[in-house]
Structure 1
Amino acid sequence: MTNSHLNSFLRLLMVALLATHRTVTSSSSSGDDITGTCRVCARATPSLSYKFCVSSLRSVPASRHVDLRGLALISIELAIVNASETISTVEGMINQGSYDQDPVAMSCLKECLGGYEDATDALLRGVGDFTAGKYTLVGESVSGVMDMCKKCEGGFEKGGKICPLKEENYDLFQLCNIALCIIVGNLSSVPGESVV
């Protein structure tokens, strides 16, 4: 799937899924929902940045009109976009030739590229599992993506190199952290929801 097809798919997916997860406007603002959710998640997960959580979720206008399921879905969508854009970034790094004389870094880049391609597939599958209410499976997919971020960075460190994808790894890790907190910490405990 090309980036333009992926972006079109994600836009359509968000419109369709957010329509099913709209909440009735109440006296509390959605900004409070985002800040409250991020505050709880940051307290429960020390590796999660509260500021990153709030700014990421607020960057999507639809976040003002959704419940926890919608916020979880937004964080997964942002993770898919991040992974997809990182694939393009890594392909550019590989193709521009500046790593041709550094076989260790080139090998690490190729490993990261494969990891990000697998991550994109896992997150797209996770959307299907999410809509089916299979939150445990989504949690496993998201956790796997977080492990990939660490592995990508660790490969460079093991080779004595500085990882050129630190920011991308950090952002994807954080986005997955948000999704994992909401899905596993909140939605999987909702009575009547499927966790298998």
Structure 2
Amino acid sequence: MGPSQALPGLVLLLLLVSSSASVLDDTCKSFGANHKDIGYDYCIKFFQADKGSATADKRGLAVIASKIIKATASSTGKRIAALKASEKDKKVRSGLDDCHDVYSEAVDELDAAVKGVEAGTPQGLKDAVTNLSGAMDAPQTCETGFQELGLQSPLAAEDSEFTREVSVALVITSSL
């Protein structure tokens, strides 16, 4: 194949890559404009965790976002289990037990959200939004539990990050 024959293929490839990248960029610009507290830069950084986001369409971004936050919820659950294993104070362990329960539920809800977005049906997308909304409650429930016990939460940073991540996924999924 000569250079003149390869040029149309190269142009098509560049158009596909730039249009896919613009989906991510456009999605994060829209998100950032409406969620200034989290912003565009955070959205882009969030999706950098999955290289497939650079070429994904909007539904693909919603799937990727749900998978990323499912991994975060699972990782937080493991951190909670480790904290619980080393904690001597019964009150703190009680708070950690509650947090572990809500993050375990969040993992299940996020698994269902991924399936709903992947299905792409109106009902699947509606179910995905419902499940993402349910998962969004985990950090606040965890923090409230510690507040009610009169304790400082050892998970405040994780809870804050999870809330931002779910916000990205929820906004994108809701826009489908």
Report if TM-score (shorter chain) is over 0.5.
yes
* CA shift in 2, pair 1:49/1:107, >3 Å: farther
SS at match of 1:162: coil
TM-score by length of 2: 0.82
CA–CA distance in 2 between the matches of 1:26 and 1:64?
8
Contact 2:33 / 2:39 at 8 angstroms: preserved in 1? no
2:24 aligned residue (13, 17, 34): 34
Distance 1:49 1:168 in 2: 18
Where does residue 115 of structure 1 map in the other structure?
102
Asked whether 1:54 is paired with 2:47, we answer no
Q: Give the share of equivalent positions with the same residue, in percent.
A: 27
- Unmatched tracts of structure 2, length 5 or more: 1-14
Q: 1:9 matched to which residue of 2?
A: none
Structure with greater helix share of residues: 2
Which of 151, 167, 170 aligns to 2:160? It is: 170
CA distance in 2, matches of 1:80, 1:29: 24
Q: Which has the higher contact order (CA 8 A, sep 6+)?
A: 1
Task: Determine the C-alpha separation between the residues in 1 that align with 2:57 and 2:167.
Answer: 18
Residues 100, 73 of structure 1: CA spacing in aligned structure 2 closer, same or farther, 3 A cutoff?
same
Q: CA deviation at 1:142?
A: 0.5
CA contact 2:63–2:118 (8 Å) conserved in 1 = no
TM-score normalised per structure 1: 0.74
5+ residue gaps in structure 1?
Answer: 1-23, 188-196
- Tell me which of 123, 139, 145 is aligned to 2:129: 139
Q: Indicate how the Cα distance of structure 1 residues 145 and 27 shifts in structure 2: closer, same or farther if over 3 A, else same.
A: closer
Rounded to whole Å, the distance in 1 between the matches of 2:144 and 2:39 is 21
- Which residue type is aligned with residue 52 of structure 2? A
- Provide the alpha-carbon RMSD of the alignment: 1.8
Matched, 1:182 2:172: yes
Distance 1:162 1:51 in 2: 30
CA contact (8 A) 1:49 1:174 kept: no
Number of residues of Structure 1 aligned to a counterpart in Structure 2 = 159
CA distance in 1, matches of 2:115, 2:146: 33
